[in-house]
Amino acid sequence: MTINPTIADLRATLTDQLTHQGLLTDSRWREAFAAIPREAFVPFYFQPCQGRPGWRLVERGQEWWEGVYADEALVTQLNGDDTAAEAARRGETVEGTPTSSSSAPSLMATMVAALDVRDGQRILEIGTGTGYHAALLAHRLGADNVTTVEVDSVLAERARQALTATGYRPRVICADGTHGVAARTPFDRVIATVALPRVPTEWLEQTRSDALILIPLSCAGHGGLMTLLFRDATGGASGRFLARYGGFMPIRSTAQATAPKIRPHILDAARPTDVPPEALNDRHPAAFYLSLRCPTPYRIIQFTPDDGSTGVQTWGQGTDGSTFALSRINGTIKAAADGRLWNEIETAYTEWQTHGRPERQRFGVSAGRPQRIWLDSPDHVIVELGAT
């Protein structure tokens, strides 16, 4: 006889899983994950369609609740509005770009552990999203100590309603989170669940000395760099990247590259390259360095030509219109390019190798004026991000 687990069983199983992975060593965080009903904050989510472009909506039923308590990020909004969900309910094909999600619980657990919170501390969260993470913070620190900011008014209201329905009333503010919340200062902790190109000056101004700031940095839209910064007495902050990959959607004010256009004529000028296509995948050990050293945000797609001339081709396009294509021909990786982007990527990959293929946790950030990214020590500057 098959026994279907209840939602409570699934929540308990997820909490046990995170505990066994060593991510919930603090009993107070275990209590939070065991108590908060994630399903209340994720009434539906989108999954990629199999074998064809587009997304399908998942809501209600066994697949939904098992997905809610899987250790996975769940896409909860496409294209910055709710029309995709409405279209999917009408049976229409849905396409678009994810603009909000509920992060994987293991990533949430990693981040809250890194924050090292103490009772009574005041925390600012940037990127409310579904409100689930804000509920975890409110359970641990008390709702009065939690301020969460969401730029999307629809998401902010939905999160506020879900929080209220589950018994939590943190301050939910609809605003541009890069400016912080001056009226609620000073903060002891700041955590962002969206990726930013640099540390906002306002966050430094609105935190106490000795505060911790956890921010995903994204220079070119890739890399999954999570940075834990210590706010010093001078008003600056510095710290290193965490070892764990943390992919987050970029803050909406960040310029985003459009999907690459396939331009077969540039393939005629293809030449051998040492950069493997895998290095453009966020999980590759070089991907974060390419993101740091390439000032041009870019987007990639992969496809296999119908004519069988090559295997899988990887095409990329930057916000400046630069285009490149990678393919394997007779075992040799070849690159074709139009614009400066590919030269930036090749140069960055060569630098990464020259530095001894360093891992991300060897890099750090000094968030003063200007902001700098360094390798091993603040004296070895790799990138200057400029003043904010």
User: b/e per residue, 156-168, with b = 16+ CB within 10 A?
Assistant: bebbbebbeebeb
Q: Are 194 and 126 in contact (CB under 8 A)?
A: yes
Sheet containing strand 323-329, strands side by side? 271-272, 332-338, 323-329, 313-318, 298-303
HSE-CB at 341 with a 13 A cutoff on CA atoms is 27
Q: Provide the 3-class DSSP secondary structure of residue 330.
A: coil
77, containing H or E segment: strand 74-78
Sheet holding 45-48, edge to edge: 55-58, 45-48, 74-78, 98-102
Number of continuous H segments (helices) and E segments (strands) in the chain:
10, 19
**Of residues 181, 21, 229, 13, the one with CA closest to residue 109:** 21
β partners of residue 78: 81, 98
For residue 357, give Cα distances in angstroms to 14, 17, 285, 289: 35, 32, 8, 9
Residues paired with 237 in a beta bridge: 231
Q: Is residue 69 within 8 Å of 7, Cβ to Cβ?
A: yes
Bridge partners of residue 298, in order along the sequence = 318
- Other Cβ atoms less than 10 A from the Cβ of 387: the count is 10
Q: Which helix (H) or strand (E) holds 26?
A: none
List 102, 103, 106, 291, catalytic entry:
103
Two tokens, residue 122: 């005041």
103 noted as active-site residue: yes
In sequence order, which ranges of the chain are alpha helices (DSSP H)? 7-20, 27-35, 61-68, 83-89, 105-115, 132-141, 153-165, 201-205, 287-293, 341-354
Among 281, 286, 272, CA closest to 335: 272
Positions marked active-site: 103
